[in-house]
Structure 1
Amino acid sequence: MDTQISELARDIDAACRLSGEFTLRSGLIATEYFDKYRFETDPVLLCRVAAAMVPLLPPDTEVLGGLELGGVPIATMVSSLTGLPALFVRKEPKGYGTRKLAEGDDVEGARVTLIEDVITTGGAVRNAAIALRTLGARVHTVVCAIDRSEPGQNVLESIGLTTTSVLTKRMLDDARA
């Protein structure tokens, strides 16, 4: 791992790994919690993550699709760095106004690279990719800040999505050592 990426892993781990008592989504109690929003709301860390994502984008990317909620600030920053337009992808269409699933320009025929903060199983990314494909987008790649998936847990390959990440769970764990 190159020095810049190992320093980024160390800094994100230091900012995001919290100790205390936390109730997890499963209802279990944990003494440690990884709060991803701490790097997404820190402009310096966010810019470093976005800059590390830029070389991972497929060269034919036409639109960046930031997934609600964590992918939106990252996609915005990557858009700012590359000049590529961003699209904000909701978990479900809003029930008022334009009732859109994806906010931004029309995606029909566009090659959209999805941007996500953390992938554990890939379920939300899978749903977004399928929905965008229904709208006519060509979606083949997701670039994420952190891939926390365990072998065999990431469902994205099964729908033809390639996952590329800046960091992995192991890299973050190694940064603590």
Structure 2
Amino acid sequence: MTDATLAADLAAIATLRGSFLLRSGTIADIYFDKYRFEGDPALLRRLADAMLSLVPGETQVLAGLELGGVPIATAMSLASGVPAVFVRKQAKDYGTCLAVEGGDVSGKRMLLVEDVISTGGAIADAVPLVRAAGAQIIGVVCAIWRGEGEPRIAGVPELPVYPAFTRADLEGAAA
């Protein structure tokens, strides 16, 4: 399996054409439907393996962002043995009342796991929640960087972003 093969397989199953409103508020004519590759066990396993190759060695916890980052972080955790936690968009007002679920992350070096990033708004929203839980965020790994230019999160530009694939990778594979 090569990265080009995985990119082609992701593009084949997840690329939709039309008019799509993105979280960032922009309209795109190409959309990468993460649920199509996250729901395919064989493809999700291959993607998790590719993303694991990008994980910094000092990572102690993988943190899947609600909702699309959760299955990817889980698959990465199963494949690597690195514990996973799950970051809600906001803390629940019942049960544990936590924004970061799955274990104590205080003092741990955490890598955020996301599916598709255009501008990183969801990452920027999650960072204060994760920091409030006491974790040290060391970066972000994502399945697809669909943003412009070098991968970076405008709201937290100091965080390195490690994409498994870019929009150009998938568009080139689909051609």
Same fold (TM over 0.5): yes
Which of 41, 44, 49 lines up with 1:43 in the alignment? 41
**Is 1:12 aligned with 2:1?**
no
C-alpha distance in 2, partners of 1:143/1:152? 14
Consecutive aligned runs of 4 or more in structure 1 exceeding 3 Å deviation:
25-28, 30-33, 156-159
Aligned residues: 173
Which of 55, 69, 85 lines up with 1:87 in the alignment? 85
- 3-state SS of 2:129 partner: helix
Structure 2 vs 1, CA of residues 80 and 124 (structure 1 numbering), >3 Å: closer, same or farther? same
CA contact (8 A) 1:15 1:39 kept: yes
Q: Which runs of 5+ in 1 are unaligned?
A: none
Structure 2 vs 1, CA of residues 168 and 105 (structure 1 numbering), >3 Å: closer, same or farther? same
C-alpha distance in 2, partners of 1:82/1:92? 28
Offset, 1:129: 1.9
Q: Which residue of 2 aligns with 1:66?
A: 64
C-alpha distance in 2, partners of 1:168/1:144? 10
Offset, 1:121: 0.4
CA contact (8 A) 2:120 2:155 kept: no
CA contact (8 A) 1:156 1:162 kept: no
Which of 55, 68, 76 lines up with 1:57 in the alignment? 55
C-alpha distance in 1, partners of 2:163/2:29? 27
- 3-state SS of 1:133 partner: helix
C-alpha distance in 2, partners of 1:63/1:27? 32
CA contact (8 A) 1:120 1:154 kept: no
Identity of aligned residues (%): 47
Offset, 1:155: 2.6
- 3-state SS of 1:79 partner: helix
C-alpha distance in 2, partners of 1:130/1:84? 23
Structure 2 vs 1, CA of residues 109 and 174 (structure 1 numbering), >3 Å: closer, same or farther? same
Which of 119, 122, 125 lines up with 1:124 in the alignment? 122
Tell me the TM-score normalized by structure 2. 0.90
C-alpha distance in 1, partners of 2:156/2:81? 31
Offset, 1:35: 1.4
Which of 114, 118, 121 lines up with 2:112 in the alignment? 114
CA contact (8 A) 1:126 1:159 kept: no
Q: Which deviates more from structure 2 when the two are superposed, residues 151-160 or residues 164-173?
A: 151-160
Offset, 1:151: 2.4
- 3-state SS of 2:97 partner: coil
C-alpha distance in 2, partners of 1:129/1:27? 23
Which of 127, 150, 164 lines up with 2:148 in the alignment? 150
C-alpha distance in 2, partners of 1:27/1:134? 30
Q: Which runs of 5+ in 2 are unaligned?
A: none
- 3-state SS of 1:124 partner: helix
Q: Which residue of 2 aligns with 1:141?
A: 139
| Amino acid across the alignment from 1:111 | R
Offset, 1:164: 0.3
